[in-house]
Structure 1
C-alpha cells in the first residue's frame, strides 16, 4: 500500500494592484533608516533620514507560503514607494537567492519600475516594467527593484519556497555594478565606481 504525503488545501488569495495580499503568511517592511549602505551616496541618504525621518516607509512585501520542501512556491507582492536618494531612484535591497539556481517571476501590477539584474561573473542588464509586463529572472541572477515613476511600483512575484535570499553579496561588492539614476524626465544606467566585483557563491 502506497503512502502519500499530506496535501495542503488550496488557498484563495486576494491580490491588490495597489500592493498587498489578503491571506498572506507574513508582511515585512523596510524603512528609510534600514537602508544604510544600500544607496551609493551615503551623505544623501543621511540627509534624507534627517529631513524625512528614519521611520519613513520605503517598501513592503506580503507573501504567502503554503508549505515547505521541494515543489512548494512562495507568491506575493512587493510595493516600492516612489522617491529618490540623491540621483538614485528608490530601490529594494536586492538579492541573489541563497540557492543560487532558483528562478523568480516578477509581473508588474501597477506603477513604473526597472528590474536591475546582474550576475556574479559580470553580466548586467535592466528591464523596464509597466502594468502587464513581466520578467522571468533565471537562477544565478542578482535582482533589485527600482521605482522610476511617481506612484508605487507593485509587482507580483513567485519563486521556490526553498530559495532563500542572500542580501550580503551586494554589500560585500560595494553595491551593484550599475546604478539607476535620474536623467531629465527619465532614467538611465550608470556605472557604480565603488563596485568591486562579486565573489563566487
Structure 2
C-alpha cells in the first residue's frame, strides 16, 4: 500500500477588513460584472454611468492546498456597501455544483444578510453581524447582501470539490426574494420576475 501525499499545514492571517495573507488566489468583481444581477437595471445602469464599469464592488480571497474530495477551501468575501434603487449591494450568489455540499459563513465585520433559497421554493434570510455565523446546508442557493454602510466581510469554508453554479439564479429571473431598504433597516420583497428554479 502506497503512502498518501500529505499536504503541509498553512498559517493564514485573516483580516477583519477583508483579505487573507497567504491566500492562493483573489478574484474581484467590478460594477460592470454585475449586469443582470439587480432587478432595477435602470439604477444599475445609472451607477455605471456615474462611476464606470471598473469600480470594485466585491472581492474574494481564498486558500486551497489541494483539489478534490476531503480538502477544504477557506476564504474571505468582502462586499462593499451600496444601493441600486431600493436593492442593497449583493454578490452574484450560487448553488454548489455538487449540490449537497455545505458552506459556513462567519461575519468578521459589517452588517449583512445571507439570502438563502432552495430549488423547491424554501426561502430564508439570516442577518449577520460580527461574531455571528450561518451554516448553509447543501442544496441551498446563497447570496451575500450588504445592508450596512461599511464593508461586509465574512470568513467562509467549504469542500474543495463543491464548485459553483452561478447560472441557476439568472435562469430563474433572479432570486425569489429581494433584500430592499425599509427605513433604516431592510426587508424582503418578492421578486416579480422570478420564474422558479429548474431542478438540475
TM-score, with structure 2 as normaliser? 0.99
Task: Please tell me whether residue 118 in structure 1 is matched to residue 117 in structure 2.
Answer: yes
Cα distance in 2 for residues equivalent to 1:58 and 1:69: 30
Task: Give the corresponding residue for 2:104.
Answer: 105
Task: Please tell me whether residue 34 in structure 1 is matched to residue 33 in structure 2.
Answer: yes
Q: How many residues align?
A: 200
- Compare 48-57 and 158-167 and name the one that shifted more: 48-57
* SS of residue matched to 1:169: helix
Task: Give the corresponding residue for 1:196.
Answer: 195
Task: Give the corresponding residue for 2:127.
Answer: 128
Q: CA deviation at 1:111?
A: 0.2
Structure 1 residue runs of 4 or more that deviate by more than 4 Å after TM superposition: none
Cα distance in 2 for residues equivalent to 1:63 and 1:173: 28
Q: CA deviation at 1:68?
A: 1.4
Cα RMSD, aligned residues only: 0.5
5+ long unaligned stretches in structure 2 = none
Task: Give the corresponding residue for 2:158.
Answer: 159
Alignment of 1:55-74 (within 5 A): 55-74=54-73
Cα distance in 2 for residues equivalent to 1:143 and 1:87: 20
* SS of residue matched to 2:188: strand
* SS of residue matched to 2:3: coil
Q: CA deviation at 1:4?
A: 1.8
* SS of residue matched to 2:45: helix
TM-score, with structure 1 as normaliser? 0.99
1:84-134 per-residue CA deviation (whole Å, 9 max, x = no partner) reads: 111100000000000000000000000000000000000001000000000
Cα distance in 2 for residues equivalent to 1:69 and 1:83: 36
Task: Give the corresponding residue for 1:83.
Answer: 82
Task: Give the corresponding residue for 2:42.
Answer: 43
Cα distance in 2 for residues equivalent to 1:32 and 1:4: 48
